[in-house]
Amino acid sequence: MTYIITSPLYYVNDKPHLGSTYTTIACDTLARFKRLEGINVIFITGVDEHGQKIQNTAEARNISPKTHCDQIAQTYRNLWSALDISNDRFVRTTDQFHYDLVCQFFERCKSNGDIYMGRQKGWYCVGCEEYKEYPESELNPKCDIHKKELEWRDEENLFFRLSNYQEQIEELISQANYIQPASRRNEIINFVRTGLKDFSISRVSVSWGLSVPGYQNHTFYVWFDALLGYLTGLISGDSSTNIENVSIHGWPNCLHIIGKDILRFHSIYWPAMLISGGFKPPSKIFGHGFLTREGIKMGKTLGNILDPIELLNSYGNDSVRWYLLREFKFGQDGDFQKQRFLDIVNNDLANTIGNLLNRTTSMSRKWFNNSTPYKTSQEYKENKLYSSSLASIAQVRKAIELLEFNTAAENILLLATTANIYLNENKPWSLIKIDQSRDKVAYDIYIVLESTRIVATLLYPILPDLSKRILGQLNLESEIREWSDYLVWGRLGFDQALPNPEPVFEKIEDKEFL
């Protein structure tokens, strides 16, 4: 069965930020993990390119909205490539293929009696692209998120009958695993209990959008357009646009991983739209927390935004991915701290994992003819590193399945730490001086090298680049296809040539911009 993983389609009013980077790295790690477990995965990401905010941004830059979208979309592509993101599809909502699908879906909802013409009045936030719950009498209300004054609007719009789906949405969101983490589910349940209201799906004041067929001057509301990008991504490899084909590509076995700020759109509006269009809702939605910097919300006004491109260029792919997944419990808010970033990356990747590999391969080459040790008669399954490896394998698999990326990282690090302690306790550098202890040294060095191979294999979905470098230093194939073939004890050969040891991770130093 195909497993679908999606990041949000990121809004291209500006270049990628650390939050979108965090989400996409998490999606990539899960996608890689599922593939390693032998599951067929379609990993969808992309960009949401319509709406007044983008129109205004392009006008301020004195370029066309399409030119602006092309530039920002390419920035996303470049960043995902640099981060080694393994997405299968990249959706652009300005593509004709997507427009064709949106029109097909709209006609389905219309035929179902869920589309009607009405009038929308209220306070509107351009940044959120949504109406806010303020009374008309409110004086100069501001958006809680963007801290900018809202616009009063009174216009003719097409509406979707969300109210028709009150009972179905209540039943859906009550399912324990549909919305995660649990705290997010409670927020949505409380909102739905107040009663679902029909929502506008078109605008007449926004020219930069997809035209609604049969309704002059109406363009689709950005969320109605963008949410359908997930279906576009599923069938974008087909020769023609046929919305019926989404089910043969795996729908609805889909996990949406998103920021908590857009959870309402994904967990309420989106499933209602799908039911109206004749499709089942996605199987699960996960809303993760926000990132701050040194305890302060990041923003242009404060000048404290962390540019992920600069971060990547200065510290590398491994550092960024490791810190974001290792430091924060996925689902909760996190705080990016410079010194903590430097300390964790250097201690974990350079001092613990890197040093383990370097010193063990160096000893093995020195004492065993530039190779791994020979096989001894002692039983490896009696060793604590053998049991520690099996425990780490089980814990990492379980943790990533549950999106507990920090737990997975900690268990990998624990195995590397245990292997380092084993070396320090058994002191092979002293034993090698005693002829009768040579077999013991061979046994100890092999079991540490094999544990290091397990560490590298478990790192593969989290840090694919570092994993490959470690495996290369063990003279092993660096491309791992399925874990079932690699997470078995004893794949490292005996008397196997080892290359000259090279550092697989150089310590990072503080850079001024951070």
Residues 281 and 350 in one domain: no
CA distance 30 to 400: 7
CATH number at residue 189: 3.40.50.620
Residues 122 and 253 in one domain: yes
Residues 56 and 172 in one domain: yes
Q: How many domains does the chain have?
A: 2
147, 185 in Cβ contact below 8 A? no
Residue 305 belongs to some domain of the structure: no
Residue 222 belongs to some domain of the structure: yes
For the stretch 472-500, what's the b/e string if a residue is b when 16 or more beta carbons lie within 10 angstroms of its beta carbon? ebbebebebeebeebbebeebeeeeebee
Residue 294 belongs to some domain of the structure: no
Residues 278 and 388 in one domain: no
380, 489 in Cβ contact below 8 A? yes
Distances (CA, A) of 115 to 203, 217, 232, 273, 513: 14, 17, 21, 11, 51
Residues 246 and 363 in one domain: no
Q: According to the model, what pLDDT value does residue 317 have?
A: 96
Q: Is the pLDDT reported for residue 244 higher than 70?
A: yes
Residue 306 belongs to some domain of the structure: no
Give the pLDDT confidence of 163-185 residue by residue, as tens digits.
Answer: 999 999 999 999 999 999 998 99
Q: Is the pLDDT reported for residue 127 higher than 80?
A: no
Residues 262 and 398 in one domain: no
Q: Which domain holds residue 448?
A: 337-486
Residue 502 belongs to some domain of the structure: no
CA distance 505 to 345: 10
Residue 350 belongs to some domain of the structure: yes
Which amino acid, residue 158?
Answer: L
Q: According to the model, what pLDDT value does residue 152 have?
A: 81
Q: According to the model, what pLDDT value does residue 237 have?
A: 85
Residue 88 belongs to some domain of the structure: yes
User: For all residues of the chain together, what is the average pLDDT?
Assistant: 94
Q: Is the pLDDT reported for residue 303 higher than 90?
A: no
Q: Is the pLDDT reported for residue 395 higher than 80?
A: yes
DSSP state string for 46-86: EEE--SHHHHHHHHHTTS-HHHHHHHHHHHHHHHHHHTT--
Residues 278 and 352 in one domain: no
Q: According to the model, what pLDDT value does residue 514 have?
A: 59
Residues 346 and 274 in one domain: no
Dihedral, CA of residue 436, residue 442, residue 444 and residue 448, to nearest 10: 170
* Angle, vertex CA 234, rays to CA 219 and CA 46, nearest 5: 60
CATH number at residue 472: 1.10.730.10
Give the pLDDT confidence of 424-466 residue by residue, as tens digits.
Answer: 999 999 999 999 999 999 999 999 999 999 999 999 999 999 9
Last residue of a domain, one of 232, 256, 289: 289
Residues sharing a CB contact under 8 Å with residue 220, sequence separation 6 or more, in sequence order: 50, 102, 106, 201, 202, 203, 209, 210, 211, 212
Residues 403 and 260 in one domain: no
- On whether the pTM is more than 0.85, the answer is yes
Residues 156 and 275 in one domain: yes
Distances (CA, A) of 166 to 64, 196, 228, 280: 41, 6, 21, 16
Neighbours of 507 (CB within 10 A): 13
Give the pLDDT confidence of 219-235 residue by residue, as tens digits.
Answer: 999 899 999 999 999 99
Residues 280 and 428 in one domain: no
Helix axes 405-426, 438-459, angle to 10 degrees: 170
Q: According to the model, what pLDDT value does residue 301 have?
A: 60
CA distance 471 to 374: 19
Residues 103 and 196 in one domain: yes
CA distance 185 to 287: 9
Last residue of a domain, one of 289, 321, 356: 289
Residue 245 belongs to some domain of the structure: yes
CA distance 448 to 48: 48
Distances (CA, A) of 171 to 8, 176, 195: 24, 11, 14
Last residue of a domain, one of 271, 289, 307: 289
Provide the 8-state DSSP code for 280.
P
Q: According to the model, what pLDDT value does residue 480 have?
A: 94
26, 327 in Cβ contact below 8 A? no
Mean pLDDT, range 37-50, rounded to an integer = 98
Structure tokens at 129: 């692209």
